[in-house]
Amino acid sequence: MGIRFQGFSSEHPDVLTIGQLLEDLQSGLYGQAGELLTLRPGQGVSPAEWDRLQAVVNRVGVADRMLLEPVAAETLGTDEVHKRHPDNALIAALRSTGPGVYRAALRIHNDNELLLDHQTGQHVQGMVVVEAARQMFLAVTERYYVEPELRGGYYFVIESMRTSFENFLFPLAAEIEYKVLDAAVGDPTRLAFTAEIAVHQAERRCALTEVSFSAFESELIEGKEHRRAAHAVTHESRLAAGVAAGV
């Protein structure tokens, strides 16, 4: 796993950061004959890093007894999860598993914005779960409910969002399941949804998010947003003028 999760790896003998594993391999630690090892990628490991690890395994001559399981597919594009930097995408391998039901892999980049200034203990912080739920409903809507020619043209508004944390989430493989509870999609100018988003790990549900949101055609909402922003600015300007006048 990535170095951000060293607090977890240091507590468990069967868990290593990818940097530590590369160092051990290159020092010859696994050079002697030993048992067959299967390596599973944890969070914070990119496909490129996993490919580099495979190259080192091959080079030091232990490929016959060190099997690397594949990393989940690349995270979704920034347009689907509405992030500018790919390191901040949290969703990979999105697919439909039934009517109104979708699943994806949770993939946390070592340099994800939510890890840069807050990572304590062994578990993944709760805001990662909340952001993954947000990205999940955006991606599902963009991919499965918006016509291809209109993708990227909607403005999403959250009406309510409530997350219950039921178990610690650790920096290991995890799955996200998205269930549509209600979908009003008859009017293409405004799509409305109610959904549940669950994060599962090690056969346990770690968190459940209940969300209601709408997706508006951008032209409809941008004008309203601008008017309300202008009202807020005017209000602040009047307050500032009052303070300056000694009111």
Strand order in the sheet with 190-201: 91-98, 101-106, 175-184, 190-201, 204-217, 154-165
3-state DSSP call for residue 216? strand
For position 118, what pLDDT does the model report? 66
For position 227, what pLDDT does the model report? 78
For position 220, what pLDDT does the model report? 67
Can you read off the two tokens belonging to residue 113? Answer: 């914005």
Q: Which residues of the chain have pLDDT under 70?
A: 32-33, 118-119, 219-223, 243-247
Cα angle value 1/176/178 (rounded, 5°): 165
pTM of this structure: 0.87
Sign of CA dihedral 82, 87, 91, 94: positive
For position 73, what pLDDT does the model report? 75
The runs of H, that is alpha helices, within the chain are 6-9, 18-26, 47-59, 78-81, 126-140, 218-244
Beta partners for residue 91, in sequence order: 106
Can you read off the two tokens belonging to residue 176? Answer: 């996200």
Burial, 65: exposed, middle or buried (Cβ in 10 Å; 0-12, 13-18, 19+)? Answer: middle
Cβ contact 5:171 at 8 Å: yes
Cβ contact 169:207 at 8 Å: yes
